[in-house]
RNA sequence: CGAGUUUUCCGAAUGGCCGCGGGCAUGAGCCGAAAGGCUGUGCGUGAGGAAAGUCCGGGCUCCACAGGGCAAGGAUAACGGGUAACGCCCGCCGAUGGCGACAUCAGGACAAGUGCAACAGAGAUAUACCGCCGCGCUUUUGGCGCGGUAAGGGUGGAAAGGCGGUGUAAGAGACCGCCCGACGGCCUGGCGACAGGCCGCCGCUGUAAACUCUAUCCGGAGCAACACCGUGGAGGGGGAUCAGGCCGGCCCGGCUCCCCCGGGGAGGUGGCUGGAGCGCUGCGGCAACGCUGCGCCUAGAUAGAUGGCCAUUUUUAACAGAAUCCGGCUUACACGAAGACUCGUAUC
RNA sequence: CGGGGUGUAGCGCAGUUGGUAGCGCGCUUGGUUCGGGACCAAGAGGCCGGGUGUUCAAGUCACCUCACUCCGA
């Protein structure tokens, strides 16, 4: 992921939640906030409610893979936070992919 | 062949494209004064049998005491061994269950003291309701009173050793024979728990996962421990004011300036993986395990690395993801593999 | 990493030394009223989160386990 770094600090997450816009899908919620940087910053939130440790790892890997394969479709200059909902634990890869992209399109982060 | 017991192992494989963490190398590119950093390339490596629950035991670090004892609190509980240690493991004893292979057991002490035992029942740790027997009174096929008795009745988880006899007014370990159990002594076997035998003396309810007693062990906290580096800012000390600036008419003084000290927030580095390590051979031991020799190096992240798309086998693979490290325990788990053994049936 | 708490009727909760599981609201039926509410009377509804054990007997005691929840670093 050449043009993307990860979102690390809790304060960054809170700023995106408070100041950003959101799009809700059955399996996930995407928050976005325009920053004007040259790169995107991406963070994932998968809480314990979703499942046990290996389930959460699987969900997070799939979401990261979706972003990696579609990175060229994303506009630069956004902070993005993807929150997995409970249903994401049993959802197939294709469903996560379509929901992620449609949510990104609604927020204007995807061309 | 059927039914079953038990131990151990495995924890999908191979290939293609894209992608991730760590390590090593780099006559490549960029940044930098340098150390080095970033990117790229190459090689090799990258989750488990439970990584889980955090139930025990240790290593390590800091704190306390630096000698010992007592008390409090907690843990453990037949015996012998293994181990760094353990509440773990092995062997063995006893009890219980099973035809058996075998499995399970918080398995010390209620015969030191205290407590509890509902309901039922006459009576619950000692008692006389019915019954039996004797004596007295009486209205005499009966009733009442006094006394003896624990054999029979019913209740209960439990009613005071069991069966048979002697005995007696009726009865009773009151006495006798056999059996059961407890305690004490002796003998035999065993390292020991214990087992077997003989003698003596007894017959005492259950419950310590009730208080308690006995024996043994335990200082506390935890890698977000702990150690180091640490821009700025607050603070303290010194210097220069014969350098400059501000407050000021000037001096003193204050700020600015320079140096040092300093606890240490954000952040970073170490701790961080070569270890009570793994595999194989040989020896000792019933075994757990120990010893010798040879070989091997096998994750170390820090928002936290294993995913996506296919192909083939055999279907769409179970439970499930390291975070300081080891030894155990417990719990979850798909398809399987191997060894040993028991019972039944049939045949030889 | 460490330490607590809770689970009982549809809902909210009681239930010490083990001894027949209760309260309030709700529900059903009947009464009262012209009718409803309130009130009165009667009633149904529980494998005490799950498993194993100790005991004559377990919601209660012990161990294992599941779920929810809180606190400290």
Strand B within 7 Å of which CB atoms in A 21-80? 43, 45, 52-55, 57-58, 60-62, 65, 68-69
Residues A19-40: pLDDT tens digits?
888 888 888 888 888 877 777 7
Residues A67-104: pLDDT tens digits?
888 877 888 788 888 888 888 887 888 888 888 888 88
Whether A3 shows a pLDDT value over 70: the answer reads no
Task: Provide the 3-class DSSP secondary structure of residue A104.
Answer: helix
> Which nucleotides of strand B are protein-proximal, with an atom < 7 A from a CB?
19-20, 47, 51-52, 302-309, 320-322
Looking at this predicted complex, what is its ipTM?
0.78
Question: Which residue's entry shows tokens 């040259």?
Answer: A38
Neighbours of A9 (CB within 10 A): 9
CATH T-level assignment (fold) for domain A4-107 = Ribosomal Protein S5; domain 2 (3.30.230)
So where are chain A's domains?
4-107
Report if pTM > 0.95. Answer: no
């Amino acid at each position: 992921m050449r043009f993307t770094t990860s979102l690390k600090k809790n304060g960054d997450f809170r700023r995106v939640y408070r100041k950003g816009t959101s799009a809700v899908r059955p399996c996930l919620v995407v928050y976005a906030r325009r920053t004007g940087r040259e790169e995107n910053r991406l963070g994932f939130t998968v809480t314990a409610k979703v499942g046990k440790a290996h389930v959460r790892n699987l969900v997070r890997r799939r979401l990261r893979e979706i972003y990696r394969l579609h990175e060229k479709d994303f506009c630069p200059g956004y902070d993005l936070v993807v929150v997995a909902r409970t249903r994401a634990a049993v959802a197939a890869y294709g469903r996560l992919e379509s929901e992620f992209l449609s949510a990104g399109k609604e927020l204007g982060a995807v061309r």
